[in-house]
Structure 1
Amino acid sequence: MADIEKAKAAFARFDADGDGQVTPDEFKRAMAAMGDMYANGPMAEAVLKSKDIDGDGKMSFDEFWASLQK
């Protein structure tokens, strides 16, 4: 089981505009900033789609947290 405070800090690194949602572009930029040379649009969209429970094309903290509980 993940620590919720650590999860919130990790989520904040991806949520660049602080709106509570991570878009594919935010995800791609965060991964590139962490040194992932393979971060691109299709990869970011695929990762978010796998965590996007409500189908809005973005990842909320609740969806992120749920993915950590699996």
Structure 2
Amino acid sequence: MADIESARATFDKFDVNGDGFVTADEYSAAMKAMGDHYVTAAVADSVIAAKDTDGDKLMSFDEFWASLNK
């Protein structure tokens, strides 16, 4: 099981605009900022879709947290 405080800090790095959701564009930008320049739009869309349980094409903290605890 993950540490919720560490998970929140990680999530916040991806949630650039602070609205509580991570878009594919935010995910891609954050990964590039961390040095992974190979995250294409398609890859980012796939990662978000894999964690997006309600189908809104956004990843909430609850969805992120649930994915860490599978």
TM-score of the pair, normalised by structure 2:
0.98
Distance of 1:37 and 1:19 partners within structure 2: 24
TM-score of the pair, normalised by structure 1:
0.98
Cross-structure match for 2:67: 67
| Alpha-carbon offset, residue 57 of structure 1 | 0.2
Cross-structure match for 1:17: 17
Structure 2: gaps (5+ residues): none
- Structure 1 residue ranges (4+ consecutive) displaced by more than 4 angstroms after TM superposition: none
Q: 1:15-69: CA deviations, max 9, x gaps?
A: 0000000000000000000010211110000000000000000100000000000
Distance of 2:67 and 2:61 partners within structure 1: 10
Distance of 1:33 and 1:40 partners within structure 2: 13
Counterpart residue identity of residue 51, structure 1: K
Count the aligned residue pairs: 70
Equivalent positions of 1:1-70 (< 5 A) are 1-70=1-70
CA RMSD for the aligned pairs? 0.4
Counterpart residue identity of residue 54, structure 1: D
DSSP-derived class of the 1:11 partner: helix
Percent identity reads 60
